[in-house]
């Protein structure tokens, strides 16, 4: 499993750059990961990130865009505004979680 260093912290990632150990994630790292994909985090972003992390802790699976909308209460249109083009994939990346099932 590859490792990379971001801001002085070594993290383990898969071939697509997703963290393989969600325990290596931190809020500071989230900001750095978001900046790498051109996103400046706002409180609305944090609502989605916190939902994803809490839901993952319960289900041990990364929520899909549909689950984020239905269970997390964050409309799909809002997710596309916050994380353009591939919202579930980008949100999972920033949240330090595996890519959701069904994402290409």
Q: What is the pLDDT of residue 103?
A: 66
Rounded Cα–Cα distance for residues 14 and 71 (Å): 28
pTM: 0.92
Q: What is the pLDDT of residue 1?
A: 65
Give the residue from 90, 15, 81 showing the smallest Cα distance to 49: 90
Which helix (H) or strand (E) segment holds residue 97: the answer is none
Indicate which residue of 6, 37, 78, 103 is catalytic.
103
Rounded Cα–Cα distance for residues 11 and 78 (Å): 30
Q: Give catalytic status of residue 85 as yes or no.
A: no
- For the chain, the structural domain boundaries read 3-94
Q: What is the pLDDT of residues 18-52, one digit of tens each?
A: 999 999 999 999 999 999 999 999 999 999 999 99
Rounded Cα–Cα distance for residues 94 and 10 (Å): 16
Task: Pick 7 or 21 by higher pLDDT.
Answer: 21
For 82, the token pair is 């916050």
Q: What is the pLDDT of residues 43-96, one digit of tens each?
A: 999 999 999 999 999 999 999 999 999 999 999 999 999 999 999 999 999 999
Q: What is the pLDDT of residue 82?
A: 98
User: Would you say residue 104 has pLDDT above 60?
Assistant: no
């Amino acid at each position: 499993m590859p490792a990379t260093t971001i801001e002085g912290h070594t993290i383990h990632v898969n071939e697509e750059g997703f963290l393989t150990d969600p325990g290596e994630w931190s809020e500071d790292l989230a900001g750095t990961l978001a900046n790498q994909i051109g996103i400046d985090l706002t409180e609305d972003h944090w609502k989605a990130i916190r939902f994803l992390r809490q839901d993952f802790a319960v289900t041990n699976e990364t929520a899909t865009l549909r689950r984020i909308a239905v269970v997390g209460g964050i409309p799909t249109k809002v997710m596309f505004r916050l994380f353009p083009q591939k919202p579930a994939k980008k949100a999972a990346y920033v949240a330090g979680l595996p890519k959701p099932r069904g994402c290409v």
